[in-house]
Amino acid sequence: MLISAGAVQAPVFLFGGDFKKITCPDGTPVFVVKDLDKLFPIFAKEWNSTIGLVLTYLKDLAAKVGIDVKEKVVKIHDSLDQINGDLAYYYRMNYVTFMARPCAEKSVEILREANEKVNKATEVLRHAQIEVQKSAPDVSVLHDVTQQLRDTVPRRPPASF
């Protein structure tokens, strides 16, 4: 049995019982996540592991450098943390759109685009991972990566009450 999430298909057993099956009018099975809180960890595993590593390295780096560099490192850390939240929010909102009409081609396309955005952000983030693992990371490279991510990941809209 396969899970179909846009262009992504994987055996159901890879994800356990976190999905429910919906049968489209044409008979095609589509599996959607039951618990939206598990969504981003399931579909963005590489992003999550990489961002966790980069944030940890940045925290350690901030403790080792002088005050002038420390401020820059803390700012980069905070920016990456914000980008992480924005990406998770973006993916969740697009997945909710997909869940509303999982058999509609437009919904599948929206989810496919969200998957591509996560993949692109992960590729950009790898440059930060490589840089922070150096014995003397270049803060300007980390700043550039943060800016590339900011250009790639849509910002969360402000909360409205």
Q: How many domains does the chain have?
A: 1
Task: State yes or no: pLDDT of 4 exceeds 50.
Answer: no
Judge whether 49 lies within some domain: yes
Judge whether 27 lies within some domain: no
Provide mean pLDDT across the span 108-133.
92
Closest to 68 measured CA to CA, from 160, 154, 139: 139
Judge whether 10 lies within some domain: no
Who contacts 22 (Cβ-Cβ below 8 Å, separation ≥6)? Answer: 29, 30, 31, 32, 102, 103
Judge whether 107 lies within some domain: yes
pLDDT digits (tens, 9 = 90+) for 67-93: 888 898 899 999 999 999 999 999 999
Judge whether 131 lies within some domain: yes
| 33 within 8 A of 18, measured Cβ to Cβ | yes
What pLDDT does 5 receive? 47
Judge whether 69 lies within some domain: yes
pLDDT digits (tens, 9 = 90+) for 16-66: 568 888 999 999 999 898 888 888 888 888 999 999 999 999 998 888 888
Judge whether 20 lies within some domain: no
Reported pTM: 0.81
Percent of the chain with pLDDT over 70: 86
| Domain carrying residue 79 | 36-152
Task: State yes or no: pLDDT of 160 exceeds 60.
Answer: no
Give the other-Cβ count within 10 Å of 20's Cβ: 11
Task: State yes or no: pLDDT of 98 exceeds 60.
Answer: yes
Judge whether 15 lies within some domain: no
* Amino acid letter, 114: A
